[in-house]
A and B are shown apart, each in its own frame.
Chain A
Amino acid sequence: MSESLFDQLGGEAAVDAAVDIFYRKVLADTTINRFFDNTNMEEQAGKQKAFLTMAFGGPNNYNGTDMRQAHAKFVKMGLDDSHFDAVAGHLADTLKELDVPQDLIDQVGVIAESTRNDVLGR
């Protein structure tokens, strides 16, 4: 049996390493950081961990409806494809910084892409 994507990436330890880099990129990006305003930073960092675990193909309890609900208020604020692409870009850049092999980065990209319509409420 081949190792899962999550395990190949390094499991929870990889998520911990990635969350700091990823979250800093998101907060510093003025095209999307307004969606991350006015929230509790510690909680938000926790949610970014949930996001990364999911994108890494790890164990999570989210389904499509949850993704719709979690992002519904941001869709109302104008969340669209450009923002989605920006987040997906930060995700790939984070993994590059961590020297993750390109074929694994591509697989993460596919998982993220599969949530696009739910995240954007379509």
Chain B
Amino acid sequence: MAEHRIQLGEQLISCKTDETLLNALLRENVNISYGCQQGVCQSCMMRSLDSPPPSESQHGLTDKLKEQSYFLACRCYPQQAMRIGYRDHTDFVTYGTVSVKQNLNAETILLTLDIDNPFEYYAGQFVNLQRDDGLVRSYSIANNSINRKQLSFHIRRLAGGRFTEWAHEELKLGDRLSVSEPQGLCYYQSGKSEQPLLLIGTGSGLAPLAGIISEALHQGHQGEIHLYHGSRDINGLYWVEEMQQLADTHENFHYSPCVSQGEPASSMLAGRANDLAFKTLSDLKGWRVFLCGHPDMVNNSKRQAYLNGVSLADIYADAFHVASGSLD
């Protein structure tokens, strides 16, 4: 099998043609941060020092970073020998102190961090959180961008999940976490205030959507806003009363909690959130659509939204890719 020589500082590493550069580096025990391994969280960003990196490894980076030959190691299958370097700045820009930890439901907690040096972000973006041993995971900001001193997150526990089990069981008030720059393109932009919005989320995918809705209402968004929040069963939903209340007080906000298995409660719909949304709202020409949560739901919904008439530029999505555990 062909291999390419990768030079990182003094170290020479050989990368097979069918493995990612990130996997090659981890195999050689190079200390590099990473998270999703799906090209989303950008924590594995590196820089090519000689040749332009493969274009698919630059997907999602800003034009400026692309020009400077930054790339994502988890998406890089080297096509030739490369000389690479660490990125010269760390993206962890500040610290946060845990000030609220509450149960939203049996599997999800609300975590609020008081931020040392507040930064600007758009509602709907995510940050990477880092534990002191270096473990990094991405979480969406669940509040609007008006009070920047506090960031809230909805963290859903996965059985055997390293970050989430620790966050649920051990993380306590007063603990500190590193917080990255805000990231991602799934956010609410003011302007086009009459444009109708459709938001579909599964599980903790409600987090960025709640931030976006709060921001849109705060900014006086005029168009209709439809939220479909889905889960397998009732226990996976949360904030049902809060969202219902918001719908009662804002004429243009409509809330549909959906349960795909078992009996839904009286105010809920039976079925998958995305199926119900696209059946009810079959003509989405001119709409803006936000999709967050399970990667399969997000991918299917992107396609369906497009087929229902939404233009690609009006589809905003964050798939909550879970880092695979296969490496250790």
Contact = CB atoms under 8 A, between A and B. Distances in A.
B299 A27 contact: no
Nearest to B313: A42
A38 interface: yes
Contact of B59 (A38, A41, A43, A45): A43
B302 interface: yes
A28 B304 CA distance: 9
B299 A38 contact: yes
B135 interface: no
Interface in B271-328: 299, 302-303, 306-307, 311-312, 315
Q: Chain A interface: which size bin?
A: 10 to 19
A96 interface: no
- Judged by DSSP, the binding face of A is helix
Contacts of A47: none
Contacts of A41: 302-303, 306, 312, 315
Nearest to B305: A41
Interface in A41-67: 41-43, 45
B312 A42 contact: yes
Contact of B307 (A27, A38, A45): A27
Nearest to A28: B307
B311 A20 contact: yes
A20 B302 CA distance: 14
Nearest to A40: B59
Contacts of A24: 306-307
A28 B302 CA distance: 13
Given A38-B299, A40-B59, A43-B59, A27 B312 contact: no
Interface string A31-44: 00000001011110
Nearest to A41: B302
Interface string A13-35: 00000001001100110000000
Contacts of B315: 41
A122 B91 CA distance: 50
Interface in B221-253: none
B9 to A, nearest CB: 33
A43 B306 CA distance: 14
B59 A27 contact: no
B311 to A, nearest CB: 7
Nearest to A42: B312
Contacts of A40: 59
Given A24-B306, A38-B299, A41-B302, 13 more contacts: A20-B311, A23-B306, A24-B307, A27-B303, A27-B306, A27-B307, A40-B59, A41-B303, A41-B306, A41-B312, A41-B315, A42-B312, A45-B312
18 contacts: A20-B311, A23-B306, A24-B306, A24-B307, A27-B303, A27-B306, A27-B307, A28-B307, A38-B299, A40-B59, A41-B302, A41-B303, A41-B306, A41-B312, A41-B315, A42-B312, A43-B59, A45-B312
